[in-house]
Structure 1
């Protein structure tokens, strides 16, 4: 017999370790749970880097797991929570590491993804499952956990904490003039293939500078590849039109930087969703992943979408013929994104948000 969900949970656990974009997309679910049950404790088991981004999130107790510590770290976390029993565990990470971690947690009921969405046999580690849904955005998949628990629909809320020191950090980089944030690189990992061309970014920066008087601030991590790409972009740009801040910001500093930006241009990576969470107009660049599933949620209408063309070019498939999470793992896929299309989308985004500064996608979500 399956356990039932509590009508009035006292202690809710969320298990979602990574990644930066995903934890940003999960915050509205946390806020929905808080609206429904303001007295309930919420404990979020989260990755180390992701914690540094969300530290201070109101009403949430964080338990940090550093995946580099492996089983030793898991055992330490289990000991830390040995005397804690959760009313419900929302298992929201589709990875075998997270499922193994969940085995050492005590919960009256465990909720996971439906079988169609579960990866790494995640549904076998849970007792109840969210309702099946056709082709949802990642954020909507997270919200399905709240819906299963009976949470009433409401506005999407983030309210990410950004300390004053982070805004000081951002101002030292950007100065006082209006600016565009360009985050040119996605995560550096095998067969990721989400980065657009150096020449394309330089052309967009030129357009923003000449047509709108916007400097561009380059952001990203400190890897050698990201630094090299930043230097190549900078070399192609007019003097004074670009500030290269790659590898120079903390995650909180980056939140502050995107909060003050006129807009953000980025491929499918964490800063795009950080920008979305701060309400900053965001132009996502998509060819290897489907923007209907993964674009910055509030700004889906402004994403440049070369995914159908990439799918047909490199896999001879239509979008309707592949699984919803299908990626195009080809090094040339992002080259299908045309510079003129990006500039046109940027112009539309800037024009739209000048007239409607708080609105993004036209969907009523």
Structure 2
């Protein structure tokens, strides 16, 4: 028997710790909940870096969990919330860490993914599951939580706040230059294989400068992989050298930079979804992950999509023959993306958005 859902929840707990792109995709669900129940309290348990990106989101009480603190950090959250009963817990993080954390929260209803979408035994930690939604995009899967609660108005709205200090940080970096932001590397995890070639990026940077007058700003962290990638990119550019910003911006500053940029190019990673949230034209590069599941939602028709080719080449199947969400974990998969693929999409998208009018952070789209 299903646990009954609250008709008028007074206090909703959102449990989603990571990652940067995912929390950007989740914001429209929070907005939908707020439109449906303007007086409801919303407490979001979130990771430290993710909080620094979304801090100040109106109407949301954040509780920050630093995963480096392990069980001790969980106990701190349990103590902080020990006298806080929730009408419903939206268990939106499919990980054992998040599920263990959920055990110390007081909630009558614990809503999680349906069995087809659940991972890491999440259904063991929930007492109500979503209605199945085969082949859903990540953003749609988050919105399914609001729909399950009875929300009808599922328009997409972000409104991630940017403080003036972040805007000033971006202005000083740009110094009036029209910008192409490239974040060349996805998270440096084992067998990730989402990164395109340094040579390809270098050629795109030259093209963006010569044809469109865009200065490229390279963004990312300071891992060895990222530093080496950006050194190789810079070495391959003969003119219009890119500006290296690795590790030199705050997350809010990066978001402000993306907000001011003419375009963002990146593989399947946080920056494509940050750009999507700010309504900045974004060109996603996809071969190892399926863009139908993970592309930047508002710009998903403009991605470079070599995923079907990668599935055929390295898994010897078609996308219809594999489990939804399967990643092509092969180091050569992204090499299926050509320079021509990228510059053709870049030229098309820049032409399409030449008069792009973006009410930054407040744009609405239908899901």
Other-structure match for 1:22: 22
**Root-mean-square deviation over aligned CA pairs:** 1.3
Which secondary structure does the structure 2 equivalent of 1:354 belong to? coil
Other-structure match for 2:209: 209
TM-score, normalised relative to structure 2? 0.96
Unaligned runs of 5+ in 1: none
Shift of 1:311: 0.9
Other-structure match for 2:296: 296
Other-structure match for 1:138: 138
Q: Distance in 2 between matches of 1:354 and 1:154?
A: 29
Contact 1:179–1:216 (8 Å) recurs in 2:
yes
Other-structure match for 1:223: 223
Other-structure match for 2:255: 255
Other-structure match for 2:173: 173
Which secondary structure does the structure 1 equivalent of 2:157 belong to? coil
Shift of 1:364: 5.6
Contact 1:90–1:112 (8 Å) recurs in 2:
yes
Other-structure match for 2:362: none
Other-structure match for 1:78: 78
Q: Distance in 2 between matches of 1:238 and 1:227?
A: 19
Q: Distance in 2 between matches of 1:64 and 1:165?
A: 22
Other-structure match for 1:89: 89
Q: Distance in 2 between matches of 1:161 and 1:153?
A: 22
Shift of 1:124: 1.8
- Residue 246 and residue 290 in structure 1: after superposition, are their counterparts in 2 closer, same or farther (change >3 A)? same
Shift of 1:270: 0.5
Which secondary structure does the structure 1 equivalent of 2:353 belong to? helix
**1:343 counterpart = 2:327:** no
Q: Distance in 2 between matches of 1:357 and 1:154?
A: 23
Q: Distance in 1 between matches of 2:313 and 2:339?
A: 19
Shift of 1:244: 1.3
- Residue 69 and residue 27 in structure 1: after superposition, are their counterparts in 2 closer, same or farther (change >3 A)? same
Unaligned runs of 5+ in 2: 360-364
1:262-302 CA deviation, whole Å, 9 max, x = no partner?
Answer: 01000000111111101100000001000010011100001
Shift of 1:2: 3.3
Q: Distance in 1 between matches of 2:269 and 2:366?
A: 24
Q: Distance in 2 between matches of 1:135 and 1:348?
A: 28
Q: Distance in 2 between matches of 1:364 and 1:69?
A: 39
Shift of 1:6: 1.1
Contact 1:16–1:44 (8 Å) recurs in 2:
yes
| Mean Cα deviation higher: 338-347 or 147-156 | 147-156
1:217-272 CA deviation, whole Å, 9 max, x = no partner?
Answer: 11111112211211211122134342111121111010000000001000000111
Other-structure match for 1:199: 199
Other-structure match for 1:107: 107
Shift of 1:355: 4.8
- Residue 58 and residue 72 in structure 1: after superposition, are their counterparts in 2 closer, same or farther (change >3 A)? same
Contact 1:220–1:226 (8 Å) recurs in 2:
yes
Which secondary structure does the structure 2 equivalent of 1:276 belong to? helix
**1:265 counterpart = 2:259:** no
Q: How many residues were matched structurally?
A: 362
Shift of 1:358: 5.0
